[in-house]
Amino acid sequence: MPARTGAELLAGLRDDREIWVGDERVRDIAGHPEFAGAAKGLAAVFDLQYAAAEDCLYPDPETGEPINVSHMAPRSKEDIQRRHRGLARIAEHTVGVMGRTPDYMNVTYAGFAACSHEWAEHGNEAGAERLVEYQKLLRRKDICLTHTLIHPTIDKATDEPLRTDNDAVLRKVGDTEHGIIVRGARILATLAPFSDEIAVYPGRPLPEGGEKFALSFCIPMSAPRMRFFCRDSVASGPNRFDHPLSSRFDEQDAFVIFDDVEVPRDRVFIDGNIDVYNQVMTRSWNPNVMQQTMIRAQTKLEFAWGLATAMAEAIGDRSPQSQQMLGELWSYAQLAASAVRAAEDHPADYGNGVLFPDQAPFSALRAIMPTWMPRANEIIKLLGSHNLLATPSWGLMQNPDLRPLFDHYLRGAKDTTAERRVRLFRLAWDYAGSALANRVELYERFYLTSGARNQQRAQMLANRDRATRLLDRFLKEPID
Ligand SMILES: Cc1cc2nc3c(=O)[nH]c(=O)nc-3n(C[C@H](O)[C@H](O)[C@H](O)COP(=O)(O)OP(=O)(O)OC[C@H]3O[C@@H](n4cnc5c(N)ncnc54)[C@H](O)[C@@H]3O)c2cc1C
């Protein structure tokens, strides 16, 4: 089956999945007022595959059918560039505001399957084979995947390292003729209401004795007794003038309770094998998936710079302090673009002839992005000030009695019309100030774990050779 269209995605959401929002169980995801905008927004991402087929699609290596390029396992620098173009098209479509468009998980599973030798170690050959078979299904059926990695927090004083008597955490509680039974919670699953299936794979390492927690699998969202509780919606109504981003990009986040769920054997990739669980996220996953997520982040920063610059122009703000902030924002976007290029230009071989970009530039971006993204929002708010709030709705702008007033009092500098100005500042509010903006800022701070943890990780993985050489010259040179 070739890549799916948006209509096919929406049709697939009609099943028995258990999705709650507010105090309501939602039966019709695509028709529910709090989900309809993002469902359409995600459907547009699927349609984009055909609208931008030259960048987004490539032939399945076995069937030749056109599938999304995010399923590719790069084997050359050209492949990495080919994948870059497809990922950039998707990132541009949502200007990076949707963090978990399906390409994130497609890239992750393409990497898992291409480096299945990492999953086959420590006696997990059968799990690795099942994973490879599953990835074929994922790419050929164009399955939209959500995922959940993080254990629920009960008491931070005692949760870590994970105690083996913790009965809140997702764990295996039994075997059946056809698979295993799992019970417990995992937090969070972004994109859950709009996905076809959910993936569970390792987050942080498990302690000795934690075999029952060592699980990895993928199952359909409609699996019986799997319960999803969405946070309050931050989606707005459908008007794109009033809410250009929150009308279509609230990708949702849900916490998941597995209330004795059966996972079929052919969908289980790790079953109690702690050694493989603690290892599979430590090698190729990071340099592979970072290409997707840092192209998204870079696109978002470049959009923020373009938006902020247009805002300043609209109100004739040429003050040195505003130009300084715009230059700061441009620097983030430019540094991110340079780091992505540097990583892609120096790929490393991860086995089986599979190449992923250089890890070091991505480690630096991963450590610093949780600081840059909130700062980008702050700059937009500082530049926008009260202007962010003087923005009549589209309905008011259409009122023939009021429109002349808006055209006169809300016009901007030079030839900036009131309509352009209102549109710009509404976009800026939706990007940096709205309920959606606040959720997205939280996402940027935490989706790859916190900046604090990632800075420690960057320091741990950093290559010290040159720094040591520079230092040693002074420490080891003869004194006289
Ligand atoms: C909007 C959103 C969407 C998400 N979507 C998903 C999803 O789809 N799937 C999924 O699996 N997970 C998802 N997550 C969860 C995400 O993976 C976790 O929030 C993330 O791993 C952070 O976990 P934590 O709270 O344990 O953070 P921690 O890294 O423990 O950070 C918590 C706090 O402690 C501080 N801190 C941590 N370590 C140190 C230290 N050593 N020194 C000093 N300070 C420290 C941090 O700065 C932070 O303030 C999402 C989270 C958010 C916010």
Tokens of 139: 């790419």
**Separation CA 239–CA 247 (nearest Å):** 7
Tokens representing residue 79 in the block: 């492949």
Q: Compute the distance between CA of residue 188 and CA of residue 274 in angstroms, rounded to an integer.
A: 22
Residue 403: how many other CB atoms lie within 10 Å: 15
Shortest CA distance to 248 belongs to which of 350, 97, 455? Answer: 97
| Residue at 157 is within a domain | yes
Q: For a substitution probing ligand 1, which of 453, 455, 457 has the most ligand atoms within 8 Å of its CB?
A: 453
Residue nearest ligand 1's atom 6 by CA: 188
Length of the chain, in residues: 480
Distance between alpha carbon 145 and the CA centroid of its chain, in Å?
11
Same domain, 202 and 308: no
Q: Is the CB of 330 under 6 A from ligand 1?
A: no
Ligand 1 binding pocket includes 231 (Cβ within 6 Å): no
- Closest residue by Cα to residue 271 from 152, 197, 180, 187: 180
Q: Which of 258, 277, 296 is the last residue of a domain?
A: 277
Q: Is 480 within a domain?
A: no
Q: Does ligand 1 come within 6 angstroms of the Cβ of 147?
A: yes
Q: Assess if residue 14 is contained within a domain.
A: yes
Maximum distance among all alpha carbons in the chain?
Answer: 87
Q: Which of 195, 186, 165, 199 is nearest to 19 (CA)?
A: 195
Domain co-membership, 329 together with 229: no
pLDDT in tens, 275-299: 999 999 999 999 999 999 999 999 9
CA-proximal residue: ligand 1, atom 19 (nearest): 446
Tell me: do 301 and 376 sit in the same domain. Answer: yes
* Number of domain units in the chain: 2
The CATH number linked to 162 is: 2.40.110.10
Quote the domain boundaries for residue 28: 6-277
How far does residue 327's CA lie from ligand 1's centre (Å)?
A: 30
For residue 219, report the phi and psi dihedrals to the nearest 5 degrees: -140, 160
Q: Is the C-beta atom of 450 inside 6 A of ligand 1?
A: yes
Compute, in angstroms, the gap from residue 416 CA to the centroid of ligand 1.
42
Tokens of 314: 């609209």
Domain termination residue (choose one: 277, 293, 312): 277
CATH (domain of 432): 1.20.140.10
User: What pLDDT shows up at residue 162?
Assistant: 85
Pocket probe mutation, ligand 1, options 146, 155, 188, max atoms within 8 Å of Cβ: 188
Residues 148 and 295 placed together within one structural domain of the fold: no
Report in angstroms the alpha-carbon separations of 430 from 236, 255, 307, 440.
Answer: 10, 25, 12, 10
380 and 457 in a common domain:
yes
Of 256, 277, 298, the residue at which a domain comes to its end is 277
Q: Provide DSSP, 10-33.
A: HHHT-S--EEEETTEEES-TTTST
Please list, in sequence order, all residues whose beta carbon lies within 8 angstroms of the beta carbon of residue 26, skipping any fewer than 6 positions away: 19, 20, 32, 34, 35, 193
Contacts of 22 (CB under 8 A, 6+ apart): 34, 232, 233
Q: Is 443 in the pocket of ligand 1 (CB under 6 A)?
A: yes
- C-beta 449 within 6 A of ligand 1: yes
Say if 185 falls within a structural domain: yes
Element (H, E) at 459: helix 451-461
Helical residues (DSSP H) of 315-434, grouped into ranges: 320-345, 359-384, 394-397, 403-409, 418-432
- Say if residue 60 is in the same domain as residue 134: yes
Task: For residue 188, give the amino acid letter.
Answer: L
Say if residue 169 is in the same domain as residue 304.
no
Return the pLDDT at 177.
96
Question: Could you tell me if 274 and 210 are in contact, meaning their C-beta atoms sit under 8 angstroms apart?
Answer: yes
Ligand 1 pocket, residue 447 CB under 6 Å: yes
Answer yes or no: is 1 within a domain: no
φ, ψ of residue 244 to 5 degrees: the values are -60, -25
Strands across the sheet containing 268-271: 145-148, 197-200, 215-220, 268-271
Paired tokens of 407:
């055209």
Strand partners, 20: 25, 229
The CA distance from 388 to 386, in Å, is 5
302: amino acid identity, one letter: E
152 lines ligand 1 (CB under 6 A): no
For ligand 1, atom 16, the nearest C-alpha belongs to 447
Predicted pLDDT at 167: 93
The list of the chain residues with pLDDT below 70 reads none
> Domain check: are 289 and 272 in the same one?
no
- Provide the pLDDT for residue 55: 97
**Both tokens assigned to 429:** 């509010």
- Fill in the DSSP letter of residue 150: B
252 Cβ closer than 6 Å to some ligand 1 atom: no
Looking at the fold, whether 264 and 301 belong to one and the same domain comes out as no
Do 311 and 246 share a domain, yes or no? no
- Do 353 and 402 share a domain, yes or no? yes
The residue whose CA has the least distance to atom 13 of ligand 1 is 188
CA of 35 to the centre of ligand 1 (A): 25
Ligand 1, atom nearest to 189 Cα: 8
- Tell me which amino acid residue 232 is: D
Write down the pLDDT at residue 385.
98
Residues facing residue 183 across a β-bridge? 171, 259
Give the nearest ligand 1 atom to 146 CA.
Answer: 8
What pLDDT, on a 0 to 100 scale, did the predictor assign at position 159? Answer: 81
Q: Which of 150, 194, 436, 456 should be mutated for ligand 1, with most atoms under 8 A from CB? A: 150
pLDDT at 228: 98
Q: Residue 309: its pLDDT value, please? A: 98
* pLDDT of the residue at 403: 98
| Ligand 1 contact via 188 beta carbon (within 6 Å) | yes
Domain membership flag for residue 479: no
> What is the token pair recorded at 456?
């420690």
Distance from C-alpha of 438 to C-alpha of 445, rounded to nearest angstrom: 11
d(CA 285, CA 277): 13
- Inside any domain, residue 87: yes
Is the CB of 255 inside a 6 Å radius of any atom of ligand 1?
no
- Assess if residue 477 is contained within a domain: no
Per DSSP, the three-state class of 415 is coil
Query: 158 with 174, same domain?
Result: yes
Determine if residue 225 is left, alpha or beta; phi over 0 gives left, psi from -120 to 50 gives alpha, anything else beta.
left
